[in-house]
Each structure stands twice: as structure tokens, then as C-alpha cells.
Amino acid sequence: MDKTQLGYVKTTIENKIATIEFFHPSHNSLPGNLLKQLKENIDAASENDEISLVILKSGGERTFCAGASFDELSSIEDFSTGKTFFLGFANVINAMRKCSKIILCRVQGKAVGGGVGVASAADYCMSTKYGSIKLSELAIGIGPFVIGPAVERKVGVSAMSQMALNATEWQTAKWAKEKGLYTEVFETVEQLDEYIAHFSEKLVNSNPEALAGLKKIFWEGTEHWDDLLDTRAAMSGQLVLSEFTTKAIGRFKS
């Protein structure tokens, strides 16, 4: 069975709120086809006048997102394929950045690599106490190049570099809140969902023009990210072909 073809991305709309949910049985990892669907769903929500707010979440009760699909990473054999794969994350981050609607992110569990990038690209992110984070890319010979700008924008250079270099250790949800990634950390998923429902109701009843204006202000200075993330995807696409990375991914899978 080709695991990279498993999973789903779906959007439900209720009371002007679009809930975009992604799921993959391998700890909500994101192969290229799910990244493509995620971008398309975010773009569609951005263009839909019946939507005032977006909630981004993953399925299941445990891991929020394990980042890149190792099954797909291990199959990359040329630069073009490698760059295209990492552009999947770049395209999702840029879609979130350009989305005309405020995006809330619900983190119910651990986030790794690209999962931290997705959480960082949200306008407002909330977690449970189980939402530990880790940038594991250096451990397999790459680096958080594509997601780096989004993470750095949210937590600062110091915290981002700490995670990037300390690639094998988890940082707690409390740490992530202190650094600015999470706005709130809750004891349980139930409490998290109750607050998201409360907070999203307040936002959806706010002036939509004011929300759109705030969205633009939040992302001022990132207009060059289309080119920046393309360059970063090329860096990762080259590194994934290195002997070091090939062996590291092989050890990880085994």
C-alpha cells in the first residue's frame, strides 16, 4: 500500500466559520498530495465570501502534525522532485499568509518540523498541554529552511535557532506559549475546543473589514516570501539528496 496516498483534507462550513481538517494515519504527517489539498482548501476559504473565519485542525486525538512524510522523503531521487516536495510546505505557508481570513489553529498534541511551521503560519494558535514542539530537520541532515521564516516570525530568532540546533529534544507547550507560538494552553482537548468555540464566535461577529485590515497588518514585511520560500525549498531539495541525509532517513525508517 502506498502510504503517501492515504489521509484526507476536508472543509466544513457552519455559521460563517470554515473548519479545515487534515488527517494522515502516520501521526498526521503531510505527503505532497495532502499538502496540495491543504493549500487548495485554504485558497478556497480565502475566496469564499460566505466565510468570515478559518479554523485549521488535524484529525485524531494525539499528534497534531508529524511534519514531512518520511515515506515520500526516502523516495526522492532527484533535485526537481525534492524541491517540489518542499515547495508543498512553502505553498501551504504562503496560502495561510495570503488568506484573506483570520486563521485560528487548534493543536491537540505534538508538532514536529513542518507541523510547527503550519502552527506558526496561523494568525492565532491554541494548544493543549500535550502540544510539545520540535524542529527535527537537522537530525536527518536537512534543516528547517522552508518553515524557518514562519517560525522565526512567530517566536523570534533566538527561540527558532534553539529549536533548529537542538533538533532531538522536545520543547513543552508551556515553553511554546512563553515564546509566543501559542496564545493559550489548556489542560484538556475539551477545554481547548470550548474556548475555540467561544473565541471564534466573538471573532465571526466582529467587523469583517477590520479583521481583513488586521490580517494585512499582521503580515506586513512578508511580501517577498514567495521568492524566499522557493529558494529555501531548493536548499532542502538539494540537501535531501546528500549521502548523509539518505543514510539518516534510512536509519529513521528502520
How many Å apart are CA 159 and CA 147, to the nearest integer? 14
Q: Answer whether 160's CB lies under 8 Å from 167's CB.
A: no
How many Å apart are CA 151 and CA 225, to the nearest integer? 13
Reference 230, options 88, 98, 114; nearest CA is: 88
Kindly give the confidence (pLDDT) of every residue in the chain, 254 residues in length, as a single tens digit, with 9 standing for 90 and above: 567 688 999 999 999 999 999 999 999 999 999 999 999 999 999 999 999 999 999 999 899 999 999 889 989 999 999 999 999 999 999 999 999 999 999 999 999 999 999 999 999 999 999 999 999 999 999 999 999 999 999 999 999 999 999 999 999 999 999 999 999 999 999 999 999 999 999 999 999 999 999 999 999 999 999 999 999 999 999 999 999 999 888 887 77
pTM check: above 0.75: yes
Q: What CATH number has the domain spanning 3-205+223-253?
A: 3.90.226.10
How many Å apart are CA 102 and CA 93, to the nearest integer? 14
